[in-house]
Amino acid sequence: MQTTVFLIIAVWIQPIVCTSSTSSFAIFNSYIHGHLDGRVENTNNLLPEYDFIVVGGGSAGAVLASRLSEIAGWTTLLLEAGGLETIVSDIPGLAKFLQLTDIDWQYQTEPQPGQCLALKDERCNWPRGKVLGGSSVLNYMLYVRGNERDYDGWAKAGNYGWSFKEVLPYFIKSEDQRNPYLAKNKKYHGTGGYLTVQEAPFKTPLATAFVQAGVELGYENRDCNGERQTGFMIPQGTIRDGSRCSTAKAFLRPARNRKNLHVALRAHAHRVLIDDQKRAYGVVFERDGKIQRIRVRKEVILSAGAIGSPQLMLLSGVGDPTHLQQVGIPVKHSLPGVGQNLQDHVSGRGMVYLINETVSYVEVRFLNFPSVLNYVRQSGPLTALSGTEGLAWVKTKYADPNDDYPDMQLQFIGGSPISDGGVSLKNNDNVKDSVWKEYYEPIAYRDSWQPIPIVLRPRSKGYLLLRSSDPYDKPLIYANYFKDQHDMKVMIEGMKIGLALSKTEAFQRFGSRLYDKPFPGCETLPLWTDEYFECFLRHYSTTLYHQAGTCKMGNSSDPTAVVDPELRVYGMQGLRVVDASIMPDVVSGNTNAPVIMIAEKAADLIKESWLKRSDLPKDV
């Protein structure tokens, strides 16, 4: 895809060069230099020992490394298995083209009954960022905090310090809210932080229709990151001047000149070094074809994500002894909860609502020369959040109608799987060729939209295991989607709410209607019944990229807990986990902003812990 984009740019440049259009060339030149200037350098000569080693430079690790390096007397090494962001990854409208590339770990779930049935080998693709900035480089940039009750629930379960009142300051600390009408609400939003947050510069008329449709159904148009969550909104995104604002850009670039912060790229961690006293004293990793061992004075911090962190713990001999013995790994510490409690926001992504007007994100209309020209001027469809134009939190009949705790999220897309004619979205979701040909191909490139239903608090929980003792083998991932029938019931109600949206005046003005061809495998069932929706969802539901919970935070009486409320691994010394894997229960919304908050809070926990000791510098 990079080649395609550069060809588009080249086509644009040619007439500029021929006509000596200095103003257009200046715009392009400014964009390229703005992207490249100040990027983080790959440290060549590493020290034999650091105060802290952070494994994983993603949404959490980049934040943590930046914050720890604020202490001038501490040395920090950040290990990242991938490389640097690219110009293509900087373009919000091209997010879908980043999956299945070398900046994606390209995980897949294992086949299980009743899930992913319309996908190749009945496996759901689970993209995860393998790049500095991690999944904040790969995601759709949505800035969502979750519900107050999520965090209060963590605290009530014994996780002191994690109530909403206690974590809200960390959301605000990171944030540089650029929308004035939101920034003025100082109780919930911050300005001047590292992480730029704003609405996308471009949206289609369908975005406005989505919010208007929600109002027709009785919901309020509100800031769902504010006082109340239930309602409809235009999304807030982690973008800056029309370009992606990853955690690498936001947190590491400002810290790039600190001599006490080293960043090792394309450094694939193999295991944590653990001595007989169960103390983590270093990390083994491969870089440039060589195995290296770096020691640590204070702590190893795993920020490799909800898949990578438990995998590394297991590879290091920390986990369920029976499983470790099965794959031939010496047991260093028995901790059965590692890799368990796997949660994800399953999403119904296959439905298509057709419209009569040419207003949606049909790829042949926006991936072109004028769009590139508009993009470098910080406008146009390439600045949009890759088609995501609306978010809503709604209550199904299974939620308490008197409580602001919705159980369903709708992610509104100004397009659908047909919008690119099967070029990328089909492959990203791993859809079978036969399903695409029979169901989607007849309507390819038609104008459409899609309200993706998402079960916010899944009762179904999965797990992951090592495939082998080889650190390059991807783990076995068992998603267990819809194992608890309650999740299916909630999802079906979400499908019905999407159908109700299509019948509002706001959408009927576009001639909106649900594509009524029976889905392959569900042909014998009456359309739009609960039975049909369940069949459809079991065939075509997949991840919303929100994996969490596999190194669960809990109090000492919880036998499934992996880390304590200060994110220290139980029974170990010098080892913490800081990423989405520590969530006891996944938050009610997209996870990138909460992970950044977790890292902000963890940085303070670590500073408070070590700066209390008399032998340490007090130069915060």
- Show the tokens assigned to 184: 């003025």
The whole-angstrom separation of Cα 119 and Cα 116 is 5
User: Any known ligand binding at 167?
Assistant: no
Catalytic residue among 270, 333, 345, 546: 546
C-alpha distances in Å from residue 369, one per residue of 10, 418, 486: 9, 22, 48
Q: Where are the beta strands (DSSP E) in 160-230?
A: 175-177, 195-197
The whole-angstrom separation of Cα 200 and Cα 459 is 33
Residue entry with tokens 């510098």:
617
> What pairing do the DSSP bridges indicate for beta strands 239-240 and 243-244?
antiparallel
The whole-angstrom separation of Cα 501 and Cα 508 is 9
- Show the tokens assigned to 321: 């002894």
Residue 599 contacts by C-beta under 8 Å, 6 or more apart in sequence? Answer: 59, 60, 61, 63, 64, 67, 303, 578, 579
Looking at residue 269, the DSSP 8-state letter turns out to be E
Furthest C-alpha separation in the chain: 73
Residue 333 main-chain phi, psi, to 5 deg: -160, 125
Residue 44: which of 266, 224, 196 has the closest Cα? 266
The whole-angstrom separation of Cα 294 and Cα 48 is 5
C-alpha distances in Å from residue 441, one per residue of 418, 437, 451, 614: 7, 5, 20, 68
Is 486 a known active-site residue? no
Annotated binding site: 131
Q: Which residues are catalytic?
A: 546
Annotated binding site for FAD: 131
